[in-house]
């Protein structure tokens, strides 16, 4: 029973004939096989934090259902899990998402963690399939009691074998994050490859297995599930017999080669939008497809979007930015080509046809395109496919194309012609990205933006407010106006800020190892941004899209209180960024390299 997300594919159709080519399978007919072979793509690097947002969209998640093991539970809700693997030159990354209706901890960590809720990962470095453990065979057991603890210091059972059976787990170099949700808990693990003397090669095979221990009532474990179908034919024996492991095959990511003929359909699989923000997240989606490893949090931070709040109600959060959407690719070292539909004296129909033709040409070349109003009204979307016969574009957006691909008429961009480009084509990389310069610039702009003060006209004339002044206006609107209705602008801004400002927390965390002199301030800023986002999340049930407009005086009072909490945490975060900048600029010099 296999759950497989769409791989990065080229889909060519003629009538009812479909040909699907997976990028990880071009020139290789193998695919992941349930219980016996897992195809592990490399090089792919992920952060160990338990949220899986940076795992590739085309990764294969293998499902292990309730009936795949010993002492069978009642159903998948009682116990089941799915897992995926990727690797880079340093680590094998394993992610697991577990369903469990009763989560139990409390057993002895050193010797009996397998009696509690836990995940076991087995690796045989040389895939010798020996009948007993050798120095390059390991069993790594990760208990749920690690939830919320430091991923760099996981508590593992003392008999975890790494490069020698019985090496203390504390010396293994394993990084493991465990997160605990309602009926689900999840594990994200980085296992050092050097522990097995492994150097990644295309086609390299290792022995591999993964299992779940489920305890429902304390005491002994109640259920054990396992991926390896070889082991499932007999007893629960992987802990002593590596010959029952399945296999994991490292497969180098390959570039696609596309051949298109007139009248065909082409769709390139790209990641979805991970942040409700329509200017820069689309750039990240395209960069991710083209091999860049920037996280959603990093892009929101370095672009400045993670720190913005602007408007009058506020009303239009994406109308305040540190840079233009075409500036971000340039900052990252890429050439861009922008096409406008608003210029005087042009044949708009001819220019539109040129845009459509150029978009299709870019997609044929494996380069998704940013197109204005392609799927989402008056927003930037990523076009990654087209259908010539139906005259349609296919792609992703911040609202359209989250769960599946959005589809719309290829002429839709002309329905809302802006003063900025209607299409942004990201071309070749021509320069290196100066990360330190960009990171410090974004922090400085965050402080400047937050403290921007504009004079409010006495006649009530509209003026765009920024930063804390805008936050104060938003709070005051709900606090001083019991008869205020929930407006579309309130809901829209809330949907954006609760994700972009949460991304600010992640950006702070990514900066900590780069600027250790500012570690304390960056950590505090990260915590404040999380607290801000949490307060905004609570506002969703009050002024989100699906709430009554009102007026509702009680609702407005509750909203004002939560918005004030959010505002104060935002202010505290900005103060910590100011402190961080003092430490960074006090200790960095033009010659310093981070």
The per-residue pLDDT for 171 is: 63
N-terminal to C-terminal alpha carbon distance within the chain: 46
Tokens for 258, please give them.
Answer: 């596309």
Nearest alpha carbon to residue 126 among 37, 207, 190, 201: 207
* 182 pLDDT more than 70: no
- Mean pLDDT for 153-169 is 57
The CA distance from 435 to 426, in Å, is 19
- Mean pLDDT for 111-126 is 81
* 72 pLDDT more than 90: no
The whole-chain average pLDDT of the chain stands at 83
* 189 pLDDT more than 50: yes
Q: 7 or 84, which is more confident?
A: 84
The per-residue pLDDT for 200 is: 82
3-state SS class at 508: helix
Among the ranges given (165-169, 283-287, 383-387), the one the predictor scored with the smallest mean pLDDT? 165-169
The CA distance from 561 to 241, in Å, is 60
The per-residue pLDDT for 469 is: 93
- Mean pLDDT for 407-432 is 91
**Residue 5 pLDDT level (bands cut at 50, 70, 90):** very low
Q: 41 or 525, which is more confident?
A: 525
Helix and strand counts by DSSP (H, E) for the chain: 10, 24
**Residue 594 pLDDT level (bands cut at 50, 70, 90):** very low
What is residue 227's DSSP assignment? S
Indicate the length of the chain as a whole number. Answer: 594
Among the ranges given (60-74, 323-337, 536-550), the one the predictor scored with the smallest mean pLDDT? 60-74
* 377 pLDDT more than 60: yes
The CA distance from 533 to 292, in Å, is 27
Burial class (CB in 10 A: 0-12, 13-18, 19+), 472: middle
Instruction: Look up tokens 């960095």; give the residue.
Output: 588
* 537 pLDDT more than 60: yes
Pairing of strands 60-64, 79-87: antiparallel
**Residue 418 pLDDT level (bands cut at 50, 70, 90):** confident
476-504 pLDDT, tens per residue?
Answer: 999 999 999 999 889 989 999 999 999 99
Pairing of strands 406-409, 423-429: unpaired
H or E element, residue 83: strand 79-87
Most confident of 393-407, 535-549, 564-578: 564-578
Nearest alpha carbon to residue 316 among 464, 485, 475: 464
- Sign of the alpha-carbon torsion through 356, 361, 363, 368: negative
What is residue 462's DSSP assignment? -
* 589 pLDDT more than 60: no
Measured from the Cβ of residue 220, the count of other Cβ atoms closer than 10 Å reads: 12
Q: 235 or 114, which is more confident?
A: 235
**Residue 22 pLDDT level (bands cut at 50, 70, 90):** very low
Please state, for a pLDDT cut of 90, what percent of the chain lies above it: 48
Contact 539, 494 (CB under 8 A): yes
Beta bridge partners of 395: 383, 406
Tokens for 171, please give them.
Answer: 């010396």
The per-residue pLDDT for 460 is: 67
Its pTM surpasses 0.85:
no
- Mean pLDDT for 468-474 is 93
Q: 451 or 53, which is more confident?
A: 451
The CA distance from 84 to 55, in Å, is 9
* 109 pLDDT more than 90: no
Q: 578 or 143, which is more confident?
A: 578
On the question of a cis peptide bond just before residue 43, with omega within 30 degrees of 0, the verdict is yes
The per-residue pLDDT for 351 is: 92
* 116 pLDDT more than 80: no
- Mean pLDDT for 314-327 is 73
- Mean pLDDT for 412-427 is 89
The CA distance from 370 to 244, in Å, is 49
241-262 pLDDT, tens per residue?
Answer: 999 999 999 988 754 333 344 4
Measured from the Cβ of residue 538, the count of other Cβ atoms closer than 10 Å reads: 17
The per-residue pLDDT for 184 is: 78
Instruction: Look up tokens 């799927």; give the residue.
Output: 375
The per-residue pLDDT for 372 is: 94
């Amino acid at each position: 029973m296999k759950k497989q997300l769409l791989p990065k594919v080229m889909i060519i159709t003629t009538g009812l004939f479909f040909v699907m080519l997976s990028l990880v399978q071009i020139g290789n007919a193998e695919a992941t096989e349930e219980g016996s072979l897992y195809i592990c793509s490399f090089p792919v690097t992920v952060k160990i934090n338990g949220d899986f947002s940076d795992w590739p969209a085309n990764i294969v998640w293998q499902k292990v259902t309730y009936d795949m093991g010993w002492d069978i539970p009642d159903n998948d809700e009682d116990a089941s899990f799915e897992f995926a693997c990727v690797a880079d030159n340093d680590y094998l990354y394993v992610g697991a998402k577990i369903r469990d209706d009763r989560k139990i901890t409390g057993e002895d960590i050193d010797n009996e963690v397998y009696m509690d809720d836990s995940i076991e990962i087995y690796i045989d470095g040389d895939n010798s399939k020996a009948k007993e453990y050798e120095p390059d065979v390991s069993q790594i057991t990760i208990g749920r009691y690690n939830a919320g603890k430091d991923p760099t210091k996981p508590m593992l059972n003392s008999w975890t074998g790494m490069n020698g059976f019985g090496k203390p787990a504390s010396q293994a170099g394993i990084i493991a994050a465990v997160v605990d949700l309602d009926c689900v808990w999840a594990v994200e693990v980085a296992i050092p490859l050097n522990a097995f003397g492994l150097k990644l090669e295309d086609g390299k095979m290792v022995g591999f297995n993964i299992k779940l221990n489920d305890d429902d009532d304390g005491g002994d474990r109640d259920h054990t599930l396992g991926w390896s179908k070889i082991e499932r034919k007999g007893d629960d024996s992987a802990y002593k017999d590596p010959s029952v492991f399945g296999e994991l095959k490292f497969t180098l990511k390959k570039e696609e080669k596309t051949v298109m003929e007139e009248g065909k359909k082409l769709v390139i699989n790209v990641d979805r939008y991970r942040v409700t923000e329509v200017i820069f997240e689309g750039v990240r989606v395209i960069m991710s497809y083209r091999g860049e490893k920037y996280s959603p949090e990093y892009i929101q931070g370095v672009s400045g979007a993670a720190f913005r709040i602007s408007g009058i109600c506020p009303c239009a959060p994406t109308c305040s930015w540190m840079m233009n959407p075409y500036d971000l690719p340039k900052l990252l070292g890429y050439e861009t080509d922008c096409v406008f539909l608003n210029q005087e004296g042009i044949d708009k129909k001819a220019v539109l046809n040129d845009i459509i033709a150029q978009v299709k040409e870019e997609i044929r070349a494996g380069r998704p395109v940013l197109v204005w109003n392609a799927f989402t009204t008056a927003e930037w979307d990523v076009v990654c496919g087209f259908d010539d016969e139906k005259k349609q574009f296919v792609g992703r957006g911040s609202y359209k194309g989250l769960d599946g691909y959005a589809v719309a008429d290829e002429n839709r961009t002309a329905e809302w012609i802006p003063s900025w480009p209607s299409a942004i084509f990201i071309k070749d990389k021509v320069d290196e990205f100066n990360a330190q310069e960009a990171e410090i610039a974004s922090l400085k702009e965050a402080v400047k933006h937050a403290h921007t003060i504009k004079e409010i006209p006495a006649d009530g004339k509209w003026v765009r407010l920024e930063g804390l002044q805008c936050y104060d206006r938003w709070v005051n609107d709900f606090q001083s106006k019991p008869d205020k209705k929930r407006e579309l602008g309130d809901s829209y801004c809330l949907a954006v800020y609760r994700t972009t400002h949460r991304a600010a927390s992640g950006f702070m965390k990514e900066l900590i190892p780069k600027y250790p002199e500012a570690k304390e301030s960056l950590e505090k800023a990260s915590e404040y941004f999380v607290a801000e986002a949490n307060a905004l999340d609570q506002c969703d049930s009050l002024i989100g899209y699906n709430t009554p407009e009102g007026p509702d005086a009680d609702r407005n009072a509750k909203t004002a209180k939560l918005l004030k909490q959010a505002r104060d945490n935002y202010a505290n975060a900005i103060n910590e960024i100011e402190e961080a900048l003092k430490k960074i600029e006090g200790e960095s010099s033009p010659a310093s390299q981070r």
